[in-house]
Chains A and B, each alone.
Chain A
Amino acid sequence: MTVASGPVIPNFGSGSSCEVNNGWFCTDWVRQHWADTLQPALFQHIELAAIAIGIGFAIAFLLALVGFRFRLVDPPIGIISDFLYTIPSLALFQILVPFTGITLLTVEIALVSYTLLILYRNMIEGLHAVPVEVVDAARGSGFTRIQTFTRVELPLALPAILTGLRVATVSTISIATIAPFVIAKGLGQPIYAALSEDVFKTEIFVAGGMVIALALVADGLIVLLQRGLTPWVRA
């Protein structure tokens, strides 16, 4: 990657005058490159994030089950995931490369690590926040331990779990932008490319805007899911 420095020598091929002059926003360029650049990058980005969130959610849920059932292991799990969260994402990518190579796996391991802390914390806190008297009433009514968990504790922790999912999803979509430092995938790729090609503004704005829009749309969808799944919260 070369750093853009010195006088900018426009060399944007045979595009429109807007492109040649590196204008602020060239609609022509967007129209021409939607199919070959932007749309594939968007789909790859969604894929990167979806895999990470899915795996991260599954692992965090299992860890939360263990951490909730056996309180002793809760602090260590918390400390480890807090530790992972502190490592800068770009650094984590590079540190993983010697082990897992220039692969999708490297990117996903890093992305999953970041989702873990957020999801685990929210799950555990949501489960611990279930009022004692409600659990007492459930046990007193004759719920088995498993019934108490699946019918009372888990549903009541749902708002907190989904809030964690929101934060994790938005963060993952955001961090996935750095994937091109390892593999050429996702919406970070056009941005990365535009930075190398003497800072082609249109591409940066469009791809950057798409990442932000994707994050906000995903956020909105989870809010809708939250409303549908937890009608009692607004009651």
Chain B
Amino acid sequence: MKTFVDAFRFMADNPHLLLEKTGEHLELSGAALGIALVLALPLGLWLGHLHRGLFLAAGVSNVGRALPSLVLIAFGLTIFGVGFWNNTAALVVLAIPPILTNAYFAIDTCDRDVVDAARGMGMTGMQVLLRVELPLGLPFVLAGIRVASIFVIATATIAAVAGGGGLGQIIVNQASYGLSGVVAASLCVSVLAFAAAGILTLVRRTASPSHESLT
């Protein structure tokens, strides 16, 4: 219990260090999540809309789960060397499966009758996707992004062993910061993950289909 008290003391004593590391942590996580979204979201939505590529969507999530974060970080370092890309690439690979798979199934499992009705009223494929399928599947799409952000924030911590910045630098360096520093930084990372999960849960609540305005 004493260590915990010390951890809070560490926070009070080193607010600048923790804020700076949290900023770095968010930068790395945000960049990776952004790239993963750009790559995986349109692909998943479009494949789901066409009801094609089930093998890809399901396979990616199965293989994705089997890729340990430490292994990805280590592979990134071996392939790219220390820099911006080694950790970012590893985190992108980690974030893609949940985003892609959820986007695919969110659209693929939309009520066929509703989609049929939309087509019958003369909507184009893109209109069906954007005005009907996406609003209906949005909660599930956001759930995938939520999981991906939790993964990325957690794994960005491990990135410190491969030259990454962020709160992980404190966590893997007990020699310099002591156990209290390590625990303090761990608490910060947890708060960060909770905040991200909480924000996405809120977004999902407010964006439920019944609130969609008719455009």
Whether both chains belong to one complex is answered with: yes
For the complex formed, measure the closest distance between the CB of B66 and the CB atoms of chain A, giving whole angstroms: 4
Query: Contacts A4-B162, A88-B154, A95-B183: A212 and B71 contacting too (C-beta < 8 A)?
Result: yes
Docked-complex contact B186 and A90, CB < 8 angstroms: yes
Residue of B nearest to A90 (CB): B157
**A181–B171 CA distance with the chains assembled, in angstroms:** 10
Q: Which of B38-46, B108-116, B189-197, B207-215 contacts A (4 or more CB under 8 A)?
A: B189-197
Chain A interface main SS type? helix
Docked-complex contact B62 and A205, CB < 8 angstroms: no
The total of chain A residues at the interface (CB under 8 A) is 41
Q: Any chain A CB within 8 A of the CB of B1?
A: yes
Docked-complex contact A191 and B71, CB < 8 angstroms: yes
Give the chain A neighbours of B74 by CB distance below 8 A: 191, 194-195, 204, 208
Docked-complex contact B186 and A91, CB < 8 angstroms: yes
Docked-complex contact B82 and A5, CB < 8 angstroms: yes
For the complex formed, measure the closest distance between the CB of B98 and the CB atoms of chain A, giving whole angstroms: 12
Task: Pick the contact of B71: A88, A91, A177, A201 (CB < 8 A).
Answer: A177
Docked-complex contact B68 and A212, CB < 8 angstroms: yes
Q: Which of A51-59, A61-69, A167-175 contacts B (4 or more CB under 8 A)?
A: A167-175
Q: Any chain A CB within 8 A of the CB of B136?
A: no
Residue of A nearest to B146 (CB): A86
Docked-complex contact A178 and B69, CB < 8 angstroms: yes
Residue of B nearest to A191 (CB): B74
Give the residues from 143 to 191 in chain A that come closer than 8 angstroms, CB to CB, to chain B: 167, 170-171, 173-175, 177-178, 181, 188, 191
Query: Contacts A174-B68, A177-B70, A205-B78: A91 and B189 contacting too (C-beta < 8 A)?
Result: yes
**Chain A contacts to B: CB under 8 angstroms:** 1, 3-5, 85-92, 94-95, 97-98, 167, 170-171, 173-175, 177-178, 181, 188, 191-192, 194-195, 199, 201, 204-205, 207-208, 211-212, 215-216, 219
Q: 6 A–B contact pairs at CB < 8 A?
A: A4-B77, A4-B163, A94-B182, A98-B179, A173-B68, A205-B75
